[in-house]
Structure 1
Amino acid sequence: MDCHQVYYLALLQGLTEFLPISSAAHLILAPTLFGWHDQGLAFDVAVHIGTLTAVVVYYAGALRDMAGAWWRSISGKGMNTDAKLAWYVILGTIPAGLAGLAANHYVETQLRNPLVIAASTIVFALILWLAQKVSAERRTDADMNWKDAVIVGLFQAIALVPGTSRSGITITGGLFLGLNRKAAARFSFLLSIPVTALAGLLKTYELAVSDHAVSWWNMFLGALLSGVVAYVTIDWFLRLLDRIGMLPFVIYRLILGGVLLYLFLPG
């Protein structure tokens, strides 16, 4: 990889990981447009570590409060809102974790192709639009219960299908449950932490047992740049969400899916 490829892919990962626009769709489109070779497993690990670090730093205060409240809850010292939210993140992670263990090999070998990504980019864009149209948006994450957490977790499991967008599908689930946009996005980002960490550990294991050559400078640069961009993107998205809603992202996804179909549809 040359420096330009490192910059662009890290920027793309940081920008698309937490927006509801499918990072997988962008990461397959960029090498096609620029004629790049595959960036390799090591770089994937690095940029995932970068985006994970960004969301942990952004929610450091909330995570500290949730961890403390969760520990007090299992110590028999009561259950407050932070403790409940911590339990909901754990509950919401289980469906995606089980689905990943059961179907990861099939997804990696059968579904990672441009036409599947194009179709899911378009279909789940329309479902996101529908969710915003029908959502009452009257609830916050403080109003959530364990059933909500499991349902959003089931939505998150769908994100195994490339092109779905993990943040997009979990925000969609939250909107269908009546959460307001900020609450749905906040829970989505908190829910991303254990899933991204587990995915990063899996990729790290795959890297450790493979014979891939590792460029440590590219990995460091990719992690740093993707993390900085992801942090800024999270802040920007949450600040503008009430004003812009989901429609701009829906339109963008439809255009992106159309471009992928044009490029990869036979004939």
Structure 2
Amino acid sequence: MDYLYPLILGLIQGLTEFLPISSTGHLVLIAKFFHIPSNLAFDAFIHLGSFLAILIYFWKDLREIWSLKWYIIVSAIPGALAGFTLEHLIENHLRSPLMVAFFLSFMSLPLLLGERFGKKENTLRALSFSKALGIGLFQALALLPGTSRSGITISAGLILGLKREDSARYSFLAGAPLILGAGLYEGLKLIKTNSIPLTYALTGFFSSALFSFLAIAFLLNFLKKHSLYPFILYRILLALLVVLIYIL
């Protein structure tokens, strides 16, 4: 088996997990158009690399993160429930390039609304349980391929008045329990079914960890001075490209 494939998938997943452009959507498109072996279980497993990157990057901020633990748990609950109940529906009916294109474009709207109308003045100290739940309800939508978990939660944070950088920081932290849970669950399925060799999966894991770390560092620095509009434009252009490929 060609181990260049999991390296590429890990790179794509790592970079797009934290940039608001949808890691799952990109994995579906790459696997489809370049015929790279992948499935939902493998995609979820290499997300564990992203979880490792979160731990490493925010290790120095553990005290601050501990103070947010209950908010993070509240934000994770809707996504966990949605994932548990909708996994088979998504796997069997929504992981197609055209569905990815639809959600890439449609789910750019919350990013646009957050960027356009969000006050962008509050820090994480302004969080409350109601706001954490609101972010969590948005996060549940990230199951739809092409939505982007980071994108939809950053949007929610902006709509609720958080600064761009604080929205991104909380987005990464709020997604960590879901990334860990889904990765472990699907990892066990991979081991039991042996549908993809463990060495193949681990190659994707370490590639994902490296590029996830780089993506976190880049986005947090980028959002200190820049808006989300470049990502919105990218999402729409990619969706149009996918549709054009199918039409032509």
TM-score range, shorter chain: over 0.9
Looking at structure 1, the residues matched to 204 and 7 of structure 2 have their Cα atoms a distance apart, in angstroms, of 7
Give the counterpart letter for 1:7 in structure 2.
L
Unaligned runs of 5+ in 1: 68-81
Counterpart contact for 2:165–2:220, Cα < 8 Å: yes
What residue number does 2:51 align with? Answer: 52
* Number of positions where the alignment pairs a residue of Structure 1 with one of Structure 2: 248
2:140 to 157, 166, 169: 157
How many percent of aligned residue pairs carry the same amino acid?
Answer: 38
Of the two, which has the highest radius of gyration?
1
- Could you state the TM-score of these two structures normalised by the residue count of structure 2? 0.93
What residue number does 2:192 align with? Answer: 209
Looking at structure 2, the residues matched to 17 and 206 of structure 1 have their Cα atoms a distance apart, in angstroms, of 22
- Could you state the TM-score of these two structures normalised by the residue count of structure 1? 0.87
Q: CA deviation at 1:176?
A: 0.6
Counterpart contact for 2:42–2:186, Cα < 8 Å: no
Q: Secondary structure of the residue that 1:39 maps to in structure 2?
A: coil
Flag as ranges the 4+ runs of structure 1 deviating above 4 A.
40-43
Question: 1:238-249 counterparts in 2 under 5 A?
Answer: 238-249=220-231
Q: CA deviation at 1:40?
A: 4.9
In angstroms, what is the RMSD of aligned CA positions? 1.8
Looking at structure 1, the residues matched to 138 and 166 of structure 2 have their Cα atoms a distance apart, in angstroms, of 16
Q: Secondary structure of the residue that 1:196 maps to in structure 2?
A: helix
Give the counterpart letter for 1:250 in structure 2.
I
Counterpart contact for 1:42–1:219, Cα < 8 Å: no
What residue number does 2:126 align with? Answer: 143
Looking at structure 1, the residues matched to 77 and 198 of structure 2 have their Cα atoms a distance apart, in angstroms, of 34
Looking at structure 2, the residues matched to 107 and 31 of structure 1 have their Cα atoms a distance apart, in angstroms, of 16
Q: CA deviation at 1:155?
A: 0.1
1:101 to 58, 62, 84: 84
Looking at structure 1, the residues matched to 148 and 42 of structure 2 have their Cα atoms a distance apart, in angstroms, of 20
Q: CA deviation at 1:120?
A: 0.6
Unaligned runs of 5+ in 2: none
Distance 1:192 1:129, change over 3 A: same
Render the CA deviation track for 1:124-172: whole Å, top value 9, x for unaligned. 1132112110011111111111100000000000111111000000001
